[in-house]
Amino acid sequence: MTWVDAIIQGLLLGGLYAQYAIGMALMFGVMRIVNIAHGDLVILLALIGVSMAGAWGVGLESLILMLVPLGAIVGWVLQRGVLNRVVGSDPLRSLIATFGLSIALQNLMLQVWSADTRSISAGALSTMSVKVGPLFIGILPMIILMCGIVLTAGLDAVLRTTSFGRALRAAAADHEAATLSGVDTKEVYARATAIAVGILGMAAVFQATRTTVAPADGGAQLIYAFEAVIIGGMGSIWGAFVGAMTLGVAQVVGFRIDPGWGVLLGHVVFLIVLASRPQGLMSRS
């Protein structure tokens, strides 16, 4: 039963990783933009949420309603002001630009919030659980997992069924051909990045609620998002979700084997998938 509990807890942790990963899947997997500042944007929004909660005493729902639009605005401005100037067939340009942005954000956060760890209190919700047989499952992790599923399904439906999704896929497949067909690729990319960073607004609240955040934590979130996207398969939103679940289960199982094996086992699983199936578990032909 210990290992069943480990798998369940891993899936619940994967729900948080999925919220990092689907935004990364949209930018990296679909748009082919390497956003090194992805994790730092999560931490920035989380620290803003901590400050809002401390200053105004608002609850989780209100924080999400404020941080998601704020994240969307940041994403739109980032794409319009920086990334649209470096988008092209060579991903190195976006990597260099966002690497510089990452360094700038980390230093900005250190200046404003210092290096101390902070968190958002979820009140009684943080300790509430339901009993399933001999196991207890936390209410808050289940909410996070359900939000991850809804976000994944919604984003996948947008890409598959809407004119915006078709325009984005066309621009990602052939930028020049899409432009000649009348697609405003710069605006389409700006909206896509707004969606990706807006999702991080929700992830930021849950990240600061489940654990603590500090300005230097962005690198870990970036690695988890990249690994989930690559495990699941480039270009697949549900693949990123499956990759996040796989990573979460591997980490929790690793922690149950030995406390020092948690994060390491997640990296090992990533390397195994990369070596044996480099196209990912749910890659598209």
**What is the torsional sign of CA 221, 142, 248, 244?**
negative
**Domain layout of the chain by residue ranges:** 2-276
Q: What is the dihedral of CA 84, 87, 92, 95, to 10 degrees?
A: 40
DSSP state string for 177-191: HHHHTT--HHHHHHH
Residue type present at position 243 = G
Q: Six-digit token pair at 268?
A: 């090992």
How many other C-beta atoms are found inside a 10 Å radius of the C-beta of residue 84?
16
Fold of 2-276: ABC transporter involved in vitamin B12 uptake, BtuC (1.10.3470)
Check residue 235 and give its pLDDT.
80
- Kindly report, residue by residue over 142-200, the tens digit of the pLDDT: 999 999 999 999 999 999 999 998 998 888 877 778 887 888 888 899 999 999 999 99
What would the 3-class secondary structure string for 205-229 be? HHHHHHCCECHHHHHHHHHHHHHHH
The rounded distance, in Å, linking the Cα atoms of 220 and 211 is 13
Check residue 284 and give its pLDDT.
56
- Kindly report, residue by residue over 42-89, the tens digit of the pLDDT: 999 999 999 999 899 888 999 999 999 999 999 999 999 888 887 766
Helices and strands (DSSP H and E) totals, the chain: 11, 2
The answer, yes or no, to whether residue 285 has pLDDT greater than 60, is no
Check residue 173 and give its pLDDT.
79
In angstroms, the Cα distances linking 14 to 67, 82, 260 are 21, 31, 19
How many other C-beta atoms are found inside a 10 Å radius of the C-beta of residue 135?
14
Q: Are 270 and 247 in contact (CB under 8 A)?
A: yes
Q: Six-digit token pair at 233?
A: 């398969």
DSSP reduced 3-state for 44: helix
Share of the chain above pLDDT 70, in %: 98
